[in-house]
Structure 1
């Protein structure tokens, strides 16, 4: 089929408490004078309230390339797979990341189909333009010469540019299309929405045959429904001599999430804070065995599920913050984030199955000690054991990054080592989630996150450095594991400005542990560099340079002479052999 109206209603119905826009759409596509309609258009509004809030609505249009023989199949494949795959992505992913990943997959599929049967000379090529409406933002993706327009008031703007090249005799040819090449360049952008905004996606069979002024008048016409507008646009283009397939998809913003701070506070605080728990007390079927940890911000208790006998840990918020909606917002997000991270190196959160009467969440019980305690007890650890622990921390951290999630507060106190020596990252209190950050929230958290000794200085200065921030923390932890010290000393605790951090100087690890090789030390220095441009950009690259000497880091210090130089060469050889053996053993056991 050439057009799809996924979802039941023409106008979206929303829960007034949900963070979702209210939209109305119209869709029309016709073959025109051509024997076959190679356009495809789709609009989808999911039934699930969760998907509505965290993924939003999708409007997409594809125009099959007529000269490609299989253009119709390509356009239908592109629109239908885009919608299908989008609603399967982790809801922690940003829209930009999700769209790019899905389109890359579709492009590979179409390119492969074009080359699977070269004797048939079929090209699976199409243009593609899509809008994703999430919270108060429209995200758009574009490849080819279909177009996306935005009308606000009397101002009509084309958000996209045609990917065409002009040949001789003014003949135009597509320079980009889905399925054209193994690589794919996608134009991506986003637009803050306002009530009564109108968004339009058209194929060239429509916009090439309607003047912009008339297009603006039709979109602004309040007497027409969105469906009538789409049909009118197609009809006018056909009457104006369109010689191509014709498609128009219109979406109007009827309302946007307008939750006030007071409303949001009531939603968050409908569950009371639990009282201070004592051994023997029962909360929602969980009997308290003992208190494990208590601070000004939260408490951890060991509990037993009265129904199953399972031993778990319950985390409760501190009554000190009972009136602090910023704190409550973070606490609620901790559980939501933790339930989405799946890794043996990250503590597993327990999904609640019984009704809750208070604000808390549950997690697995990890018997062991913190990495902070381990560092204290292992002043100069065996390189093999320390590197194994470090690699497990990196694996757990990668599980966060795979979900478009930045930990932001990785430190030894938030890392457990269980009875078998295995690592568990246990805290989610400062995590940043790209997908969640795209959802409008009336709350902001201006305070710096994390702990100064381990957090990227850019956090303190108000800049989210993303993955590089977590690499900084991991490099700092690695430095402390091998030296018992911090790379910039205790002075970093008092830094509050650019000037303060610029005065800091990295202290070579060999000052505190003379067996640390120079290549290992230089990898640590780059990992915790204050300068973002100097710092590693991926965990993989950082861990590779720790496990395998980077040739750039093996240049000898000109001050080294004779026996000292020979000592370093021998020591480097021992470290390399040890770390490579550990890395190989770790990989085979994984």
Structure 2
């Protein structure tokens, strides 16, 4: 009895006659539960020859596919997982082109073709964009499974009609096939299949006595001998064993059953529930013991009332993907996967300590140095998210944990937005004012008191939006108040926002330098373009005075040198009096 997918693999890539190899390929075949739950992944990408940076594009596409797919939630189907990964990768490539000197010339940007395959259980899931190809050899018959996305405009002249990085949105072809022992899947770039007839390709693959890597190299050498002038890459996968049955994972999110209400002592999907941590109309959060890993985790289950809201359920599962994509001690981690999931929920590692709101209750007047330490750690967590093209969008005390040792961790990623993936669901926390995003009427993702003004205009936000939220948190830690009170949420037009006035954090009861207030004022500017360019700049200005602020906030001469000031004023007045007396004496 065989319960494991078994594969033989081989690959070979060559620059051919060109100076640089702009192709990229890679594979990942995990063992144990990850192979059963997520399967084995293979990918191939081909940069366009007109671009000097397309090698970066193809390498990024393959690496992102192999890394990010295994970070996606086990509750997502293979199709949903890969679709989200490709959207995020496409958005990054497109964004890089827009920031480059070639922003108006897509043929010189970060563009590549892509073909990927996931083999899981008894099925193959194929994804394709561009003119790289996937073939299948079954019982001696070779079949091309993908369609070239190439538009011909004349004899010998054509262009790619679809590729990664060309447009802000991407649509990849998808196929789901049943596997059979002996199937061979072939992934090639055009440097191979345009110089190698299918009969010739099939003939080499029928040599079962040869190693697949040797066959891949032979195919490349043959294409070169046939006159190929492009980069050449071949990836081969042979199915040598299949499990007795595909794991019983319910793939569509809307069909994954919602957990029941849980209580202390309940056994649930391999966990023992210890207690409920938090409950709201949207979700229930539990402290649980994972019997397989002998660890305590935090489970979040959706409210039964939201069972008919697939957008919310997708956002819930997105939390695990975000947590797995980011590696930072200041961002909560997703719990390790050990077994198939039978209900829709998220599992995160337990972060010891108390949330920052409770800490603020216990420490109502923290000193400036303590506030700096907290803010610097939150900024590091946000920077880790931003490097992965993720916005947190809900920085507030309730979403921050501080350990007994003083380590601060972002724990709630339910409002995070991954670049390239539309925020189809928006949530307004009970702690926030009722607010909409401009004329769209969509509710904002975060908490109104901490949300950047641009969200209330319907903007998607940027890293400077997270900066604004961090600055609000800093202001609140120092003063217990908010820089604009509750007025930001009610200003849903630019005209209304321009009337808002920043309230200085300084008063006679707070020993805060004026240059700190100046740094906060800049970070909290209503216009995101007037804020600091980076989180690191804001954090530095909280610790080291910006010379511009020192000059701008320098006290008047009367406050700096009061004795000299009044002596000078008295002297000037005396001279005036003498002058007037002389003037009177002269006239009389």
TM-score by length of 1: 0.59
Aligned residues: 411
Q: 2:167 aligns with which of 173, 190, 193?
A: 190
Which residue does the alignment assign to 2:544?
A: 548
Which residue does the alignment assign to 2:518?
A: 522
Which residue does the alignment assign to 2:460?
A: 464
Distance 2:459 2:561 in 1: 42
Aligned: 1:60 with 2:51: no
**Aligned-pair CA distance for 1:47:** 8.0
Q: Give me the CA root mean square deviation.
A: 4.7
Instruction: List per-residue Cα deviations over 1:157-196 (Å, max 9, x = no partner).
Output: 8689xxxxxxxxxxxxxxxxxxxxxxxxxx9743767899
Residues 200-215 of structure 1 aligned to structure 2 (within 5 Å): none
Distance 1:375 1:8, change over 3 A: same
**Aligned-pair CA distance for 1:510:** 0.2
Distance 2:10 2:292 in 1: 41
Distance 1:191 1:136 in 2: 17
Contact 2:400 2:411 in 1 (8 A): yes
**Aligned-pair CA distance for 1:533:** 1.6
Distance 2:408 2:501 in 1: 31
Question: What is the SS of the residue equivalent to 1:336?
Answer: helix
Distance 1:493 1:101, change over 3 A: closer
Q: 1:403 aligns with which of 356, 364, 388?
A: 388
Distance 1:247 1:564, change over 3 A: same
Aligned: 1:301 with 2:286: yes
Contact 2:128 2:172 in 1 (8 A): no
Distance 2:372 2:114 in 1: 45
Instruction: List per-residue Cα deviations over 1:440-464 (Å, max 9, x = no partner).
Output: x9x5655421011111111222212
Q: 2:264 aligns with which of 279, 285, 297?
A: 279
Greater gyration radius: 2
Distance 1:355 1:28, change over 3 A: closer
Which residue does the alignment assign to 2:112?
A: 131
Residues 431-450 of structure 1 aligned to structure 2 (within 5 Å): 431-434=416-419, 436=421, 446-450=442-446
Distance 1:62 1:266, change over 3 A: closer
Distance 2:158 2:358 in 1: 60
Name which of structure 1's ranges 546-555 and 370-379 shifts more when overlaid on structure 2: 370-379
**Aligned-pair CA distance for 1:53:** 13
Which residue does the alignment assign to 2:501?
A: 505
Distance 2:110 2:390 in 1: 28
Aligned: 1:88 with 2:66: no
Contact 2:25 2:43 in 1 (8 A): no
Which residue does the alignment assign to 2:402?
A: 417
Distance 1:282 1:553, change over 3 A: same
Residues 18-167 of structure 1 aligned to structure 2 (within 5 Å): 42=23, 58-60=45-47, 62=49, 83=58, 86-89=61-64, 91=68, 94-95=89-90, 97=92, 130-133=111-114, 151=151
Aligned: 1:335 with 2:320: yes
**Aligned-pair CA distance for 1:543:** 0.7
**Aligned-pair CA distance for 1:476:** 0.6
Instruction: List per-residue Cα deviations over 1:16-52 (Å, max 9, x = no partner).
Output: xxxxxxxxxxx9998xxxxx66575647596889999
Aligned: 1:321 with 2:306: yes
Contact 1:29 1:248 in 2 (8 A): yes
Distance 2:110 2:381 in 1: 37
TM-score by length of 2: 0.59
**Aligned-pair CA distance for 1:308:** 4.7
Distance 2:523 2:94 in 1: 30
Contact 2:93 2:110 in 1 (8 A): no
Distance 1:128 1:433, change over 3 A: closer
Instruction: List per-residue Cα deviations over 1:297-352 (Å, max 9, x = no partner).
Output: 11111112234542222111111211111111101111111122221112222122
Which residue does the alignment assign to 2:123?
A: none
Q: Which runs of 5+ in 1 are unaligned?
A: 1-6, 10-26, 31-35, 65-74, 105-126, 140-148, 161-186, 197-225, 233-243, 250-264, 567-590
**Aligned-pair CA distance for 1:412:** 1.1
Q: Which runs of 5+ in 2 are unaligned?
A: 1-8, 30-34, 69-84, 100-107, 116-126, 132-148, 174-189, 197-226, 233-249, 427-441, 563-588
Distance 2:335 2:358 in 1: 26
Question: What is the SS of the residue equivalent to 1:353?
Answer: coil
Residues 166-177 of structure 1 aligned to structure 2 (within 5 Å): none
Which residue does the alignment assign to 2:364?
A: 379
Distance 1:326 1:544 in 2: 39
Contact 1:475 1:524 in 2 (8 A): yes
Distance 1:247 1:308, change over 3 A: closer
Contact 2:457 2:494 in 1 (8 A): yes
Which residue does the alignment assign to 1:562?
A: 558
Question: What is the SS of the residue equivalent to 2:482?
Answer: coil
Which residue does the alignment assign to 1:455?
A: 451
Question: What is the SS of the residue equivalent to 1:304?
Answer: strand
**Aligned-pair CA distance for 1:496:** 2.6
Which residue does the alignment assign to 2:349?
A: 364
